[in-house]
Amino acid sequence: MTLPDPETLFFVCGPTAAGKSACALQLAEELDGEVVNADAFQLYRGIEVLTAAPPAEDRERVRHHLYGVLTPEQPIDAMGYLRLVTPVIGDVVARGKTPIITGGSGLYLKFLSHGPSPLPPGDPALRAELDAQPLEALVARLQELDPVEAGRTALQNRRYVSRALEVCILAGVPCSALRDDWEQASSTRESKLRGRLIQRPRPELHDRIARRTRAMLSGGAIKEVAALGETTGGVEKAIGLREIRRLLAGEIDHSTCEELINAATRQYAKRQETWFRREKWLTPS
């Protein structure tokens, strides 16, 4: 898969409730752009209120893409998102517009901005075979197959050694070569990326989260969850879904439901802040 040209993209990133959608809308108007979703849960239809998807009036001002395009049963991961978003971006660019990529799903954004890791996924059968061997044997084999990777791996950590060895065996080339090639390509892409990181002081962000949760619960999220019924897809991890189901089942009251959603959202926002702090190419805003 050919990744989109990084120079054609503009990213708006940040923790949940920080104001990414409003910023993306403003930038799209300023840059003659179109907004492209990079939020894992806003991809799903039927939970627009629960996930704080952009309202209809925003979509009328600027064209938005990849909101509500999946049914609740459809699974999605970072690679699936990359396959979904790449042709959308190609179409936006072909029409002379700037894709404004916005969302808080760090891995989805990373796959698009820097490309997916070339390391092969784990193989259960091979992992079981390696797990049956003593650490000393694994270290010796890694030093034989890939002395470079062995030299920069914590050899007392069995999990690290096993994974490096697994990559060597599955890929048929040294793990170090795959890592180094990807890091070089990733660094080249990063030098061409443009993006804004929306930051808020912690008390302000928590207040915004609380106000959004209150508006969500009074604005139709409870009806959305009730209408969903039982689901099995990736939508199950959406913040608020489990809590509202407990409310509907009579297990908790409205006040408890609201506080549980607030707490889960604050924890998620903290993880997002940690993730995005590592993305030095983003300009703090």
CB 23, CB 104: distance < 8 Å: no
pTM of the shown model: 0.85
| Residue 208 amino acid letter | R
Tokens, residue 268: 């998620």
With both helix axes pointing from N to C terminus, report the angle between 158-171 and 135-145 in degrees, rounded to the nearest 10: 40
DSSP annotation string for 217-269: HHTTHHHHHHHH-S--SGGGGSTTHHHHHHHHTTSS-HHHHHHHHHHHHHHHH
Domains recognised in the chain with CATH numbers: 1-116+199-285 (3.40.50.300), 124-180 (1.10.20.140)
**pLDDT tens digits for 80-93?**
999 999 999 999 99
**pLDDT tens digits for 124-183?**
999 999 999 999 999 999 999 999 999 999 999 999 999 999 999 999 999 999 989 888
Task: Check pLDDT > 90 for residue 120.
Answer: no
- Say if strands 64-65 and 33-37 run parallel, antiparallel, or are unpaired: parallel
Q: Is the dihedral of CA 231, 232, 233, 236 positive or negative?
A: positive
Task: Check pLDDT > 80 for residue 228.
Answer: yes
pLDDT computed for residue 229 by the predictor: 73
pLDDT computed for residue 231 by the predictor: 77
pLDDT computed for residue 123 by the predictor: 87
